[in-house]
Each structure stands twice: as C-alpha cells, then as structure tokens.
Amino acid sequence: MNFFIKTFGCIQNTADSERIKTFYWNEGFIETDDWKKSDLVIINTCIIRESAENRVYGLINEIDKWNIKNNKHIKIIVTGCLAGLAHKDKTGKKLSQLKRDFPAVSEFLPIEKISFEIEPLRGKSEIALIPISFGCSNFCSYCIVPFAKGPEISRKIEAILNDIDKAIKDDFKQVMLIGQNVNSYGNDFTEATLVSMGKKRFKSLFPKLLEEVAKKDLEKISFVSSNPWDFSDELIETIAKNSNIDRLLHLPFQAGDDDVLKNMNRGYTSKEYLELVEKIRSKIPDVRFSTDIIIGFPGEDEKAFENTVELCKKAKFEIAYINKYSPRKGTVSAKLYKDEIPMKEKKRRWIILNDLINKK
C-alpha cells in the first residue's frame, strides 16, 4: 500500500506531517510522491486564509474526479486546521457540512490523534523540527488558529529533551523549537499570574527549556514563533549567554499603529514593541530581527500605515513576512470590522514595505 501526503501551511504542519509519515510507515505503507500512484492521500490542511482553504477543497475535488474517471478508490484523509476547526465546533454543524460537501473524504482526523511521542521521519532536512507546544490561547482578532487548534498545550520538558537527544544521535546539529507562541511555553504548567504588555500571563518556562537545550551538543538552536508580550528579561539573558542560540530572532509586530494593534488584540503599543527591540539589542549586540506584518487591516488609514513604516525604519528588520489582510470567517475581526481597504491600496502598501525591508 502506498500513501501520499500533501502539507499546506506553516512549519508546525511540516513537523506534524513528519510524525504522520512515521505513523503510516509503521502501519506498513510506503510513501509515494505522486498521489495518482497512492492508495491513501493525507491532506494536512491550513485555513489561515480563505485562499489556502480553497486550495484544500480543490485538491479533494481533483482526486474525487480522478477516482470516478479512472474507477479508482484512493482514500482521502483530511487533517490539520480544517479537521481541527470542524471537530472543535461544539454544534457539530461544521463537521456535518464538510461531510455533506465532501463525501469523498473518508475521515476528518484531528491532528491530536497522531501522538506527539511518535518519532518523526525527518527526511533530508538539516534542521530537526521539535514541537514544544500545540495550539494557542492568544486570540489575536484576525486569527483562526485558537479556534482550529484549541488552547495552548505544552509538551513535557523531558519529552522535548528526549526528542532532541534522538535528533543529535541522528547527526542533527541544528534544531528549531516550534509552537504558535513558543515563548509562553509552560504557561499551562505554572500558576503564578503576571501581566505583560496588557496580556494576563502565567510565568513561562521557555527560558528554562532553552537553557537546557543550549547545553546539548548543537551548533544552532532557533525558535518560532515568539511574541512580544512573552519576551521576558530572563529569556533575553538566556539567549545572550548561549552563543549556540540563533541571533536571528523572529518577533512579529503586525502593525505599527496603536489603534490598529488594539483592534488586532495584540496587547502592546508600538512604543512598547520598540523598547523591547532596543532592550534586546542592548543585551545581544549581534542580534538581527525578522517579523510578520499585516497590512490593510480595517482602520489602517494612511496615517496608521505611516506609523507602521516608521516602526520598520526604527526596528531595522532583516526580513519581513508581509501579508495583506483578508477577513477569515469565524474570527473576531471578520465579525466586527469591515474589510474596507481596496486590494489595490493593500498591494501599494505591500510594495512600500517590501522595498523598505526585503529589497534593501
């Protein structure tokens, strides 16, 4: 029996697909790189944008049509965010709707059913991806992830270190710790509450975890994604004193205007973000930053966009992943705000920021 896996979306999905592959290898399946030669297609989905979701539906329909035309019975399993969102809808309507719309899909499988403790098949990559947490409890107003993946759940520190030891045994010299909000790792284990940048937080165990990982025989340790409100002084100290922790830090800011940030439910102001960048620079002189930006969020008038441009000039990012806002059904921003900025204007703003950061 052959299986084919198609992975959409973020690095978390890439890591999940590595575990899914192992699961099917262990069941006696062989991986193929052509879905037409497979008996089973697994689609690991991303629904962060409507266009990504539509690509998933397109692939399901293509396989279905091909099955009918060629009298084949390739089985389709859908996992990832689409399956997660359907299963987390307590009314059951989303799952029933999907089953009605896509009868060719045998199962909408929540990714949690594939255990974290399966040893992943890492292929030819030079970097071992190590999931440290799953889900997100932040509820940024534009984001579907907390609804699709549920609240943040951290893996046990021993299990993570064990994964890293295995990767080292397999000759990996680089690891990337991954999660939707890596620097809040362990929030769900700890009790003490504190408030950071307008968000009520629990004490993060991420610096402790990072300290342990840095003691291992590794040349480079990186992590994504971290968030400003969880970037503690303890974390900065930990990075500063361990030279094998990557100096390129990914620190999404999303917008440089305080009203827009508030409507995004990001919690911090542009001033607080810049102060954090400066603090990190003062402790880690060779640090570089990459970031995520959303342009054209509702309420981003010309002045608000200029504030974003100004922040970029001051922060001096090395790389920026710039996304044009599109409302995602089921999110708070899609319910509350009108997507009022024309696509032409979003494209213009995208070019300005891309020229400023990525083309310099």
Minimum CB distance to ligand SF4, residue 137 (Å): 8
Minimum CB distance to ligand SF4, residue 133 (Å): 11
Quick one: 38 or 184, whose CB is closer to ligand SF4? Answer: 184
Pairing type for strands 288-295 and 319-324 reads parallel
Minimum CB distance to ligand SF4, residue 20 (Å): 21
Pick the binder of ligand SF4 from 180, 187, 204, 238 (CB under 6 A).
180
3-class DSSP state of 26: helix
Minimum CB distance to ligand SF4, residue 234 (Å): 20
Quick one: 245 or 251, whose CB is closer to ligand SF4? Answer: 251
Pick the binder of ligand SF4 from 136, 218, 245, 315 (CB under 6 A).
136
Minimum CB distance to ligand SF4, residue 346 (Å): 19
Pick the binder of ligand SF4 from 13, 17, 45, 138 (CB under 6 A).
138
196 belongs to the binding site for ligand SF4 (CB under 6 A): no
* DSSP conformation class of 242: -
Applying CB under 6 A, the span of 8-16, 136-144, 159-167, 214-222 interacting with ligand SF4 comes to 136-144
Of 47, 133, 49, 130, whose CA–CA distance to 88 is shortest? 47
Scan for tokens 């508030």, then name that residue.
262
237, burial (CB in 10 Å: exposed 0-12, middle 13-18, buried 19+) = middle
Minimum CB distance to ligand SF4, residue 135 (Å): 9
Minimum CB distance to ligand SF4, residue 260 (Å): 14
Q: Which of residues 220-239 bind ligand SF4 (CB under 6 A)?
A: 227
Q: How many CB atoms lie within 10 A of CB 294?
A: 24
Minimum CB distance to ligand SF4, residue 197 (Å): 12
Quick one: 38 or 154, whose CB is closer to ligand SF4? Answer: 154
Pick the binder of ligand SF4 from 145, 213, 260, 341 (CB under 6 A).
145
Quick one: 166 or 262, whose CB is closer to ligand SF4? Answer: 262
Quick one: 130 or 144, whose CB is closer to ligand SF4? Answer: 144
184 belongs to the binding site for ligand SF4 (CB under 6 A): no
Q: Answer yes or no: are the C-beta atoms of 286 and 247 closer than 8 Å.
A: yes
Q: Answer yes or no: are the C-beta atoms of 231 and 251 closer than 8 Å.
A: yes
Q: What is the layout of strands, in order, in the sheet containing 319-324?
A: 248-250, 288-295, 319-324
3-class DSSP state of 77: strand
Pick the binder of ligand SF4 from 140, 178, 218, 320 (CB under 6 A).
140
Q: What is the layout of strands, in order, in the sheet containing 220-224?
A: 127-131, 174-178, 220-224
b/e burial code for range 125-153 (CB count within 10 A of at least 16 → b): eebbbbbbbbbbbbebbbbbbbbbbbebb
User: Quick one: which H or E segment has residue 352?
Assistant: helix 343-357
302-315 helix and 270-283 helix, angle to the nearest 10 degrees: 10
139 belongs to the binding site for ligand SF4 (CB under 6 A): yes
Which residues of the shown chain bind ligand SF4 in the complex (CB under 6 A)? 136, 138-140, 143, 145-146, 180-181, 227
